[in-house]
């Protein structure tokens, strides 16, 4: 019986043994584990990431958050609506640009974010144990950062959020 694969598509490696499949599965697993931990706070990892960005950079617009998080403006709008509903953020007019609305964390949001960081750290600690310790986790983190910058481009908003990875070659 002839192969159903198109010419040039044959591979000796099954899909579930490839880097791309492994990265995809790991991303899904980590995302699920983080969201399960954060459920007690009634936030998702995306929402917590927005809070951490606001904490790090100060008040930002929804457009700034979408660019910085590399997510759609619609996703940011949905996340911000929820964060506002649970009292984690406030919206204020920009002092100069009248049509721009700045988002900033409330005291409740800062407290929630601190608890969220603690919950995320528990997952990170478990991952550290699984991969062989903090040094290996740091090595993997650096590799993932390099992948993101390589795929998104060095001038992307996401790439600019990180300092250049140290040269380990």
Q: How far apart are CA 48 and CA 53, in angstroms?
A: 9
Q: What is the pLDDT of residue 147?
A: 87
Three-state SS at 98: coil
Residue-wise pLDDT for 63-76, tens only, equals 999 988 888 999 99
Asked if 38 and 113 count as a contact pair (C-beta separation under 8 A), the reply is no
Asked if 113 and 52 count as a contact pair (C-beta separation under 8 A), the reply is yes
Backbone angles phi, psi at 80, to 5 degrees: -65, -40
Residue-wise pLDDT for 57-116, tens only, equals 999 999 999 988 888 999 999 999 999 999 999 999 988 888 899 999 999 999 999 999
Asked if 158 and 144 count as a contact pair (C-beta separation under 8 A), the reply is no
The pTM assigned to this predicted structure is 0.80
Fold of domain 20-131: Arc Repressor Mutant, subunit A (1.10.10)
Domain range annotation of the chain = 20-131
Q: What is the pLDDT of residue 169?
A: 44
Backbone angles phi, psi at 86, to 5 degrees: -90, 5
* Cα 23 from chain centroid (whole Å): 14
Q: How many CB atoms lie within 10 A of CB 22?
A: 11
pLDDT-based confidence at residue 130 (cuts at 50, 70, 90)? very high
| Cα dist from 66 to 19, 54, 71, 127, 155, whole Å | 28, 12, 5, 28, 16
């Amino acid at each position: 019986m002839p192969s159903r694969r198109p010419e040039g598509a044959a591979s000796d490696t099954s899909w579930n043994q490839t880097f791309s499949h492994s990265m995809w599965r790991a991303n899904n697993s980590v995302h699920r584990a983080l969201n399960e931990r954060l459920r007690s706070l009634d936030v998702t990892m995306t929402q917590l990431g927005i809070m951490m960005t606001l904490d790090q950079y100060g008040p930002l617009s929804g457009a700034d958050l979408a660019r910085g998080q590399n997510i759609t403006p619609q996703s940011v709008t949905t996340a911000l609506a929820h964060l506002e509903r649970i009292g984690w953020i406030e919206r204020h007019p920009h002092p100069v640009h009248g049509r721009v609305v700045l988002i900033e964390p409330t005291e409740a949001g800062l407290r929630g974010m601190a608890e969220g960081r603690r919950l995320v750290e528990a997952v990170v600690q478990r991952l550290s144990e699984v991969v062989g310790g903090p040094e290996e986790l740091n090595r993997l983190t650096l590799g993932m950062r390099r992948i993101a910058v390589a795929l998104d481009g060095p001038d992307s908003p996401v790439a600019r959020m990180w300092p250049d990875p140290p040269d380990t070659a």
